[in-house]
Amino acid sequence: QQQVKQSPQSLIVQKGGISIINCAYENTAFDYFPWYQQFPGKGPALLIAIRPDVSEKKEGRFTISFNKSAKQFSLHIMDSQPGDSATYFCAAGPGGYQKVTFGTGTKLQVIP
Amino acid sequence: EPEVTQTPSHQVTQMGQEVILRCVPISNHLYFYWYRQILGQKVEFLVSFYNNEISEKSEIFDDQFSVERPDGSNFTLKIRSTKLEDSAMYFCASILQLRQETQYFGPGTRLLVL
């Protein structure tokens, strides 16, 4: 019930392409869905987050799409750049101060 | 920009030894967390802490683990008798207030138990 499944495990995208990472959750009590970006040797940093009252949220080149009925959400990175190369984690939680459950991570490599 | 800091960045210890990992959350934050990440795996919740007591803990956080906020600024994680499987990156995180969801993570402490 607490799991968050993430795919793919790794992704190679050409510069300028679209990177797409997918996640699925089971717990219907989850109400907050953040994406974290992690560079080697650093802690996760919040990239963008969504709540289930909207189906899409866009911030710059990053877009979250959310499908509440399917219990799935995805991150799209438009015009991917080499500087986007990092590990991306989706997460989900009840919201507020409560813990988030992380997905297994996607290692993205953007090649020039 | 204020940030969460953690010390040490790396810690090597012998199995059975006690370790204390230190975190300084962002100064006006109220809610604190420890997470860990075994190499190549996902980030796992260990414990959350508010108002000087544990709010929630995972099944990983057994009697060998304890947390403390001894002086109003530091937030520590103690592992009493380390095991090989405690080798991981340990992240501290904090949030500003109970209704604010953005968790700010520190850079982590890499713990290696030999």
User: What distance separates the 2 farthest-apart alpha carbons in chain B?
Assistant: 41
What was the pLDDT predicted at A1? 60
pLDDT of residue A24: 97
pLDDT on residue B71:
84
Subunit contact B107:A97, Cβ cutoff 8 A: no
Span B19-78, pLDDT tens digits: 999 999 998 888 999 999 998 888 999 999 998 999 999 999 999 999 999 887 899 999
- The mean pLDDT value of chain B amounts to 92
Specify whether the CB–CB gap between A83 and A28 falls below 8 A: no
> B101 CB contacts (<8 Å, ≥6 apart)?
A32, A34, A49, A93, A95, A96, A97, B95
Out of B31, B41, B108, the one facing A97 most closely (by C-beta) is B31
Q: How confident is the model at residue A42 (pLDDT cuts 50, 70, 90)?
A: confident
| Structural domains of chain A, with CATH | 4-111 (2.60.40.10)
CATH class of B5-113: mainly beta
**For residue B98, what pLDDT is reported?**
67
Q: Under 8 Å CB-to-CB from B59, ≥6 apart: which residues?
A: none
**Side chain identity, residue B23:** C
Residue ranges of chain B whose CB lies within 8 Å of a chain A CB? 4, 31, 33, 35, 41-45, 48, 50, 55-56, 58, 91, 93, 95, 97-108
C-alpha span between B23 and B92 (Å, rounded): 6
pLDDT digit string (tens) for A11-32? 999 999 999 999 999 999 899 9
* Neighbour count for residue A38 (Cβ, 10 Å): 21
Q: Which pLDDT belongs to residue B70? A: 84
More confident site: B29 or A106? A106
Q: A90 contacts in B (CB within 8 Å)?
A: none
Residues of chain A in contact with residue B42, where contact means CB-CB under 8 angstroms, are 89, 102-105
Rounded to an integer, the average pLDDT of B95-102 is 76
Structure tokens that stand for B53 in this block: 């007591």
Going from the C-alpha of B99 to that of each of A27, A96, A102, B96, B107, the distances in angstroms are 20, 5, 20, 8, 24
User: pLDDT, tens digit, for every residue of A56-98?
Assistant: 999 999 999 999 999 999 999 999 999 999 999 999 998 877 8
Report CB contact under 8 Å: A102, B42. yes
* Phi, psi of B53, rounded to the nearest 5 degrees: -145, 160
Q: Is the predicted pLDDT of residue B99 greater than 70, yes or no?
A: no
